Structure formats: structure tokens, C-alpha cells
Amino acid sequence: MNQNGTSKQATVKTAKIQGWRQSPAVRWTLMAMFVLLFYISLAPHVIPETYDIAEGSVSEKDIKAPFQIRDDKATRQAEEEAANRIEDSYKIVPMKNEFLVEQILFRIEQLNMDDQVTNQNKIDIYRTEIPGRYTEHIDTFVKMNIGKGTYSDTLLEEMSRVAKEQKYVIPEETFYKMPQLTMEQLNDMRKVAMNIVKKLTIEQLREAETARTQVAELVNASSLSNRTAREIVQELARFTIMPNKFLDKEATEEARVLAKQNTPPVVIKEGDIFVKRGQTITPELYKLLSDSNLLQDKKHYWPQMGLLILSFMFIIAIYVYLHQSGGINGLKPRYGNAQLLMLWLIYLINTITIQIMGFTQTDTASYVGFLAPAALGAMLITLLLDMHLAIISSFIFAIMGSIILNTHSSQLFDFRYGFFIMVVSLAAVFAIHRASQRSAILKAGIMVSLFGSIAVLAMLLMSEQLDRMPLIYSVSFAFASGLLTAVLVIGLMPFFEVTFGILSALKLVELSNPNHPLLRKLLTETPGTYHHSVMVGNLAEAAAETIGADGLLCRVGSYYHDIGKTKRPNYFIENQSNMENPHDTIDPKLSKSIIVAHARDGSEMLKAHNIPKPIRDIAEQHHGTTSLKYFYHKALKQAEEQGIEPNFTENDFRYPGPKAQSKEAAIVGIADCIEAAVRSLRNPTVEHVEAMINKIIKSRLDDNQYNECDLTLKELDKVAQSLKESIIGIFHSRIEYPDDAKAKEGTN
């Protein structure tokens, strides 16, 4: 009763474990954990950091610019300073004032020749008409040039205003002297006055008074001898001299606008501290923080949405591959929840190692990122799971690394690190996927170092970054990355193998070493069983490889599948050389108990020696629930001889199971039975061997021994053909071929 209770508890516990491994709820939880891992690891590098700061408060920390930020206030100030440095633009506007002198003298000449006009009238005319000619001359010039394009309207307006403001007032007594001028005097005055005005207005004049001060000297040095003529010429010259250099407001404004436009914006460089700890947040700083989306009240919905989409794209790529590999649906998936959890842990570890290198990077030492052991994840996935899954993961790691190791916030990805991680990851996958010894990991690490260094060197040469020290550091760190990867893989492999019961190719090769304590025990205590196990391993490995199963697992599992026989070696026929069979003298039921116990005993011995579960499963499941017909019939015969009714059935003479749960366990069971059967044949022929193989497989198939594993009938045919070819090769000297058998019959 107690045994039944214990058995039921063990069954329930096993069912719970199996339920966890295949539970859809657990599977989708792990998928969500992948999305969470991708999002959390990339969020700090994609979503800007925000600060809880209010206007007028004091900053509790230094705030660095996450990217290049335009300082609008400083930019406007710089533009104003640039505009203020632009001097006023002046333009020369020659109005030919000497013609104005000529017109005035001509008018004086006309009036002086007119005897009908009295001197007083002449004086009144001069007093009113001559000052008007100054304004008229200016207005006429503006009218003639406006709209012509030679001078802008604003310039003509400025010229008119300034010239009129600087108008010279002729003294009143000068008008009284003008009627006294003779024709001869006027002719002499015309020439002198025009020359003086022309000479003084050739130079640039912003102030007419500057030139007017020189008039007296020039008049005195002229040929005029009459005092009155000199006085009048002097006043007329001063009157007709105007400024000819005027402020061009439009050109000045255009120049200043252009200066503002050409002023480069003032920016806060990426990584620069623009808010110091203890600094008061002014309205300008607060606006700058707000415009840069650095305040917590700013919701970064779009970056979050983009990152979430990217995270889902990553998990979809993994899901699609697992689905196509039979790892999501199906009775016995290739990748269950345990493998998915292990894959998540590998992604976590690989991401953490990249993040660590990302934290050590600086703007001046960004090459530290090449030290990241980014090939770690790809190498572990190749060794523990699958090469093709590792290739897919390599591209995911490359994208993640190009974001995490990016030191330029102005861009989302840094292709240098993405390319580097892709190269080293793929190099790791192809260098390690056929590894059979631990030393192969170090060799693969060296290959990763070489390819990583070459990739970094190629990128730096193409980008013409030939600075000596950064180049040396970058290549050196890339080389060290491969060695660091190998060390971490060697250290982490036992953790995954023990925690998840993973049988990597490296572990299987180690377990196949004849010096293993259990194999040495098998060899020394049960040499017949040892030889049988080796033969079964050869048969099972070849058969497994024909259907895509794990041939190496079949071979190593075969080595250990009968380890339980070492407890009672003499009760198994292969170890009974030169001795009587002890089963001849004991009850068939006891014989049955001894025989079937070797499967359970073997599993317990393997568990005690920490042999991984897949091998323990092969030892426990290789007989399934098959019947020991020999002892069953022997028991029937004894009951018949004793004249009693049998109190047992054939089911009492069956192995306790369980049935084979994997292709590998089923194949080892078939190879085990067939090897023993072939060895029992005295004169086997090809027909006998083929018939025997088909009979054994059909018998187990009819007995429903393969109902709990995913072997198909097509795969069973391939297994049978492989076993036939292997047996013929192994027992070549004993097996008679059809032609040999016919020749032998002829001689008889």
C-alpha cells in the first residue's frame, strides 16, 4: 500500500513537471519575458531620460544633453550680436551740383540784363527763387531716378531728407549784391564756382559742412579779383554743395538679416552639462528642458511604441523558427518550455555582458565596446540548442548591440558595433557547431578573435580613422573579446548542462570516455554487457542519423543503457561464459524480477553519478513495457506440470516501463533487442537478419511500444534498413549471403 502511494506521488510529481515543460501558459509567459527583456535592455538607449523639475526649483543633479540641443536664446543673442557688428551701409549718390550753380548764375544773368525790373524786385526774386532751386534740384533728381532701379526708393528718400536738412542758408546781404554783377563778372564767376563745387563734391561727403569750410580758401586762390564776385561765388558754392553719401537702410537691413542667417546656431553638444547641480531652473532653462523633451510630464509615446514593435519583431523571429522546428506545437516538441527558458537566460546573460561594456564606454574611448563578448550568446545557443537558431539570434544580438553600444545619441544605431557583433557571432557559430571537445571552445574563441579584429580593422580603414592609438586599442579589444567569450562559455556550460539537464555534444563526448567510472565498472564486472553495449551504440547511432535524431546521444545512451546489470551480472546471458545459468534453478517470477530490475537499477545508478536525464531515460525506457515471454512460458509450463491454475497473466511478466518517450530511447531499444537476437543466431543469413529485424519492430509496434514517442512508420522503415546494413557490416564474417547459402546446399 505504501509502495502504491509512493508510486502515485512520483507519478503526480512527474506529471506536474511534464505539464510545466509543455504548458501553453508557461510558454506564453516566457514569450512575454522575451519581449520584456528586449524592451528593458534597449529602453535606456532609445527613450530619453526625463527629470522631475519645476520652474524656479533647484536641480538636484547635473543634467547632460542626451543629444545635440539648440539653444534658441543664445542663438538669438548671437544673431543680434552678428547683426550689430554689421556697419551701416552707405551709398554714393552724385547729383551734379555744379549744374545747380550754373542754373543760378544763368538766372542772375537773365535778371541783371532786364532793365525793366528794378533792383529791389531783383533782390526779392533772388531771395525767394534761389533757395527754392535747391529743393527743386533735389526733387527733380528723385523724380528722375525713382523706380529706375539705380537707387532704391528708401535710399532716395533718405538722400532727399538728409540733403534738405543740410541746406545752406545764403546771407541776406548776398542777395543785395547780386544785381550789381556785370556780364563779364558772371562769366568769370561761373567757371570758378563750377570748378570749386565739382572739386569738392568728387569726394564722399556725409556732411556738406565739411566741404563748405574749404570754399573760402579755394575762392581766394581763384582768378577772381573782384571782391563782390568772390563773396557771391563763395556763398553760392556753399549753397550748392550737398552731401553725396547717404545711409542705405534697405541694404543695411539686408546685410544684417544675412548676417543673422549666416550665424550658426548655438548648440549644447551631446554629453555637455547644461544644467549644473544646485543651479536654479530659470524660465529659459525650463523651456529648454521642455523643448528637449527632458521633463517627466513629456510623454515619449512614439519611441516607446517603436521599441515595443521592435521587441515583438525579435520574438516573432524566434517564434517562427521554433514553430517550423516543431518547438511550439506537437506532442513531443523539439523545443519545450525548458529549452525556451534556457534560451531566455542565454539572451539575458549576453545582453548583460554587452550592457556592462556599454557602461564603460566614454566619448573618447568608445572603442571599449569592441571588448564586449557578444559572441557568447551565439556560441552557447549553438552548443546547447541549435545552430540555425544561433544564426537567427546572431542578427538579433547585432541589432541590440548596435543600439546598446551606440555612443552617438543623434543616431539610433551604430553600424560599427552591429557589424562587429554579427561577424563574431557567425564566426562563433560556424567554428563551434561540430565541436566534440572542450578545447574546441578555445579554438573557436581564437577564430572569433581573428574575425573580430579583421572586421574592426576593415571598418576603421574604410572610414579613414587612422589615428594610431584608437586603431590599436580597437583591434586589440576586438581580439580580446574572442578570448573572453571562450572563457565565459567554458565557465557557463556546466551551469546550463546541470541546471537544465542538457546534453551537449561536448558533454556526450566526455561521457563516452571509457575511463568514466561507470563504464570502467561495466567493462571490468560485466565484459559481455560492455561489448554488447558498444555494439548497440554503433547500431543505434547509425540508425538515428538516418532519421535526423541525435546519433551521438543514442551511442552514449547505449553505453549506459544496461549499467544496471552490474548489480547482478551473472543473471544475464552475455556474462555467463563457462558457468551455469542461475535462472535454471530459480522461480520464473524471481527471474523476471531480477531481469526487469536492471532498467530501474541502471536509472538509479546513473542518477547517483549525476548522469544527465536523457541518458537516464534511455536506460529506463529502452525496454518499455515489453514482455519477458521466455519466463512467462516457463512459469506456465511449471504450473501445468504442477497441475495448478496460473495465478498470473502475461502482464505480470512485463517491464514496468515507462514506454519510450523519445526517438532516441526507442531506437536504442530496437538496436538492443536486435543485437542480442543476431548474436543468438548460429548461421545467420541476410534473409534471416532482415526477417528478424522486421519481426522485432512489428512485434513492438503491435505491442504499442511507440505510442508515446514521435516515431513515424516511415522513420521505422529507415531505422530497419539502417540496422540491416550495420549488422551485415559488423557480422560480415558470420552472415551467409544468398549465393553462399545456395553453394553450401549444393555441396550437401
For residue 18, what pLDDT is reported?
A: 53
**Rounded to the nearest 5°, which phi and psi values hold at 654?**
-110, 155
At residue 464, the pLDDT reads 65
DSSP state of 561: T
Q: Are 449 and 479 in contact (CB under 8 A)?
A: yes
The residue type of 214 is Q
**pLDDT, tens digit, for every residue of 517-574?**
999 988 898 888 899 899 999 999 999 999 988 888 899 999 999 999 888 888 887 7
* Among the ranges given (37-51, 52-66, 256-270, 588-602), the one the predictor scored with the smallest mean pLDDT: 52-66
pLDDT higher than threshold 80 for residue 244 = yes
Mean pLDDT over 206-213 rounds to 89
Residues 22-49 have a mean pLDDT of 86
Q: What is the mean pLDDT of residues 396-404?
A: 92
Q: Is the bond leading into 658 cis (omega within 30 degrees of zero)?
A: yes
CA distance 168 to 182: 25
Handedness of CA 240, 241, 242, 245 (dihedral sign): positive
* Structure confidence at residue 748 (pLDDT): 31
Q: Which helix (H) or strand (E) holds 273?
A: strand 273-275
Predicted confidence at residue 731, as pLDDT, reads 63
For 54-79, the pLDDT digits (tens) are 777 787 777 766 666 777 778 888 88
Question: What was the pLDDT predicted at 727?
Answer: 86
Whether pLDDT at 100 is above 50: yes
Residue 497's pLDDT is: 80
Q: Which position has the higher pLDDT, 262 or 498?
A: 262
Please answer whether residues 368 and 361 qualify as being in contact, where contact means their C-beta atoms are separated by less than 8 angstroms. yes
Please state the domain extents for the chain: 18-46+300-502, 90-247, 515-747
Mean pLDDT rounded to a whole number for the chain: 83
Interval 4-20 mean pLDDT: 48
Report the predicted TM-score, pTM, of the whole model to 2 decimal places: 0.62
Can you count the helices (H) and strands (E) in the chain? 31, 6
The DSSP output letter for 654 is B
Instruction: Calculate mean pLDDT across residues 141-159.
Output: 86
pLDDT of amino acid 55: 76
349 vs 684, higher pLDDT: 349
Region 222-233: mean pLDDT is 88
pLDDT at residue 313 in the model: 94
Nearest to 621 by CA among 665, 678, 654: 665
Q: Beta-strand (E) ranges in 413-489?
A: none
> What whole-number distance in Å separates Cα of residue 465 and Cα of residue 463?
5
State how far the Cα of 189 lies from the Cα of 240, in Å rounded to an integer.
Answer: 14
Residue 296 CA to residue 684 CA, distance in Å, equals 84
User: What's the pLDDT score for residue 539?
Assistant: 92
pLDDT for residue 557: 92
CA 467/CA 477 separation, integer angstroms = 16
Report the half-sphere exposure of 106 (CA within 13 A, side-chain side).
Answer: 8
What is the percent of the chain where pLDDT is above 70?
Answer: 89
CA distance 378 to 394: 6
Q: How confident is the model at residue 461 (pLDDT cuts 50, 70, 90)?
A: confident
Q: Is 367 exposed, middle or buried (0-12, 13-18, 19+ CB in 10 A)?
A: buried
* Average pLDDT score over residue span 625-651: 84
Do the beta carbons of residue 328 and residue 402 sit within 8 Å?
Answer: no
The average pLDDT across 286-295 equals 71
Q: Are 481 and 372 in contact (CB under 8 A)?
A: yes
**507 vs 504: CA distance, rounded Å:** 5
Residue 69 φ/ψ, nearest 5 degrees: -115, 135
The answer on pLDDT for 359 being more than 50 is yes
Is it the case that residue 150 has pLDDT exceeding 50?
yes
pLDDT at 409 over 80: no
Among the residue ranges 1-15, 75-89, 205-219, 685-699, the one predicted with the least confidence is 1-15
Nearest to 683 by CA among 622, 599, 741, 609: 741
DSSP bridge pairs for 246? 91
What pLDDT sits at residue 1? 38
Check pLDDT > 70 for residue 10.
no
What's the confidence (pLDDT) of residue 271? Answer: 61
CA nearest to 607, candidates 484, 498, 508: 498
* DSSP collapsed to 3 states, 163-214: HHHCCCCCCHHHHHHHHHCCHHHHHHHHHHHHHHHHHHHHCCCCCHHHHHCC
Task: Name the DSSP class of 226.
Answer: -
| CATH architecture for the domain at 515-747 | Orthogonal Bundle (1.10)
CB 558 within 8 A of CB 668: yes
CA-angle at 157, arms to 154 and 159, nearest 5°: 110
Lowest mean pLDDT among 189-193, 346-350, 497-501, 722-726: 497-501
Which triple of cell numbers denotes residue 452?
573580430
Whether the pLDDT of residue 15 is over 50: the answer is no
